[in-house]
Amino acid sequence: MSLQTHRRILTLTLASGRTVKCSFDQGMSYWNAHAPNPQDRKFDFDGTVNEQIQGFIDAWSNAGVTHSGNWPTDILLYALEGE
């Protein structure tokens, strides 16, 4: 049996060359996206950096987000050595 995580990880490479991973864990189905056009609730995580930035700007402009629970969001930061 394999365990699948529902967290999302953002990997940042700083100007110094150091790599930091940010792990966001809100729990299953914590966020609800609301938009008149269902296409505005989709995000292309496989797009180029510029496409993802534009997608984020479009989503920010056209969609709203609410939380579905009253529990905290855990944000963990990992500084990776040797990367």
Where do the structural domains in the chain lie, given as residue ranges?
Answer: 1-30+72-83, 34-67
For residue 23, with 0-12 CB atoms within 10 Å meaning exposed, 13-18 middle and 19 or more buried, which class applies?
Answer: middle
C-alpha span between 83 and 72 (Å, rounded): 30
CA dihedral 7→2→52→24, nearest 10 degrees, is 10
* CA dihedral sign of residues 83, 43, 61, 74: negative
What pLDDT is stored for residue 51 in this prediction? 92
Q: Judge whether residue 1 has pLDDT over 60.
A: no
- Tens digit of each residue's pLDDT (9 = 90 or more) over 47-61: 898 998 898 888 888
What's the one-letter identity of residue 28?
A: M
